[in-house]
Structure 1
Amino acid sequence: MGVTMAIILSACGGGDKNAGNGGEATAMDAEQLVNRSCISCHGENLEGRGNYPALNDVGSRLTEAEILDVIENGRPGMPKGIYKGEDAEKIAEWLAEKK
């Protein structure tokens, strides 16, 4: 499960940009955070790279809470604390939608 958890932290891709529901800003913020810190290991399209798992469908394998745990606490091959608090929560929510 360490590899799966590592995937969660570096997920990135297109967010749900539904105007008028408040989700657009959150999705964009999460996507920007992922693009800044995660794609270098997990791939530009979250397809995975080498030993780093794919994140483009991580929501089908892990719950939002499990993804958040990986982001905040890390796993082998995945450093802990890259993002914390609200930023970590935004990323976990965004990645959980990747199915």
Structure 2
Amino acid sequence: MKRNPLVPYYLIMVLGLVLVFFLGIKGIGDAKEIAKEKEGGAEQVEEFDPEQYANTSCISCHGENLEGQGSIPSLHGTGLSKDEIADILANGQGGMPGGLVPADNIDEMAEWIANLK
């Protein structure tokens, strides 16, 4: 019994056409959703969480509990005002570079650090 060597290629072609058809339909639905987002209908504003930001960004230098490591100071009980902390976050000081915290969130982060005990 001889098999036709083109059958697998025909099956692959049919599968490809079916995928193109269904992915095209999916794309039409996504296009409507994208258009709605561009109009501002599905706009989502993500809130800044200073504690979460500190746990992801600051612990690499200031230690797991933000209590400092070696020459790097602790963030607990700094004795600095909110404005002084905001200035350090924006411009840097010593070994800490400025601009690590997004500019829009510096005040929130400074207040959170100022209130750490």
TM-score in terms of structure 1 length:
0.65
Higher relative contact order at CA 8 Å, sep ≥6: structure 1 or structure 2?
1
For 1:64 and 1:83, how far apart are their aligned partners in 2? 15
1:83 counterpart residue number:
101
Q: Which residue of 1 aligns with 2:61?
A: 41
Q: Which runs of 5+ in 1 are unaligned?
A: 1-24
The aligned residue for residue 112 of structure 2 is 94
CA–CA distance in structure 1, aligned partners of residues 77 and 113 of structure 2: 8
TM-score (norm 2): 0.56
Aligned residues with identical type, % of pairs: 48
Structure ID, larger Rg: 2
Q: Normalized per residue, which structure has more helix?
A: 2
CA RMSD of aligned residues (A): 1.5
Structure 2 unaligned spans of 5+: 1-46
